[in-house]
Amino acid sequence: MSIDRDDARRVASLARIRVDEEDLPALASEFNAILGFIEQLREVDVRDVEPMTSVTPMRLKRRADRIAGGGIAEKVLANAPDAREGYFVVPKVVE
């Protein structure tokens, strides 16, 4: 299975990382090196093996369904690149 320039462009777009057109061939070749390495996994017989979901057997705890915090909008917004009037500000999303 080989990754070409179009696959690399598609993956970059899915990952929301801008990659310049001229950098795509090098990226594709790095992907191929890594995926080639990963291909070894095919040699393993995994019939009747359940995929691991939790490395230590544990049941997730449940907490009471009640408000356990809040009222810290200022702290939440403190690190935002752009925040106004208690909101995060982003470019226009809806036309």
Partner 1 sequence: MDGLNCLSISEARDRLRAGEITSMELTQACLAAADEAEALNAVVHPTPDLALEQARAADARLAKGQAPAMCGIPVGIKDLFCTEGVPSQAASGILAGFKPAYESTVTSRLFEAGAVMTGKLNMDEFAMGSSTETSVYGSTVNPWKSGDTELTPGGSSGGSAAAVAADLCLGATGTDTGGSIRQPAAFTGITGMKPTYGRVSRWGIIAFASSLDQAGPMTKSVRDAAIMLEAMSGHDPKDSTSADMPVPDFEGLLTGEIGGKTVGIPQEYRMDGMPAAIDELWASGRSMLEDAGATLVDISLPHTKVALPAYYVVAPAEASSNLARYDGVRYGHRATLAQGDDITAMYERSRAEGFGDEVKRRVMIGTYVLSAGFYDAYYNHARKVRALIKKDFEDVFADGIDAILTPATPSAAFPLGQEFDDPVQMYLNDVFTVTVNLAGLPGISVPAGLDPDGLPLGLQLIGKPWEEGELLDFALAIEDRAGFVAKPEKWW
Instruction: Using CB under 8 A, pick the residue from 65, 72, 84, 85 that binds partner 1.
Output: 72
Residue from 70, 78, 85, 86 binding partner 1 (CB under 8 A): 78
Please say whether the beta carbons of 89 and 83 come within 8 A: yes
Give min distance, CB of 11 to partner 1, in A. Answer: 5
Kindly state whether residue 58 participates in binding partner 1, applying the rule CB under 8 A. yes
CA-wise closest residue to 33 among 74, 67, 66, 3: 3
- Lay out the site mask for partner 1 across 18-57 (x = CB under 8 A, - = otherwise): xx-------x--xx-xxx-xxxxxxxx-x--xxxxxxxx-
User: Is 67 an interacting residue with respect to partner 1 (CB under 8 A)?
Assistant: no
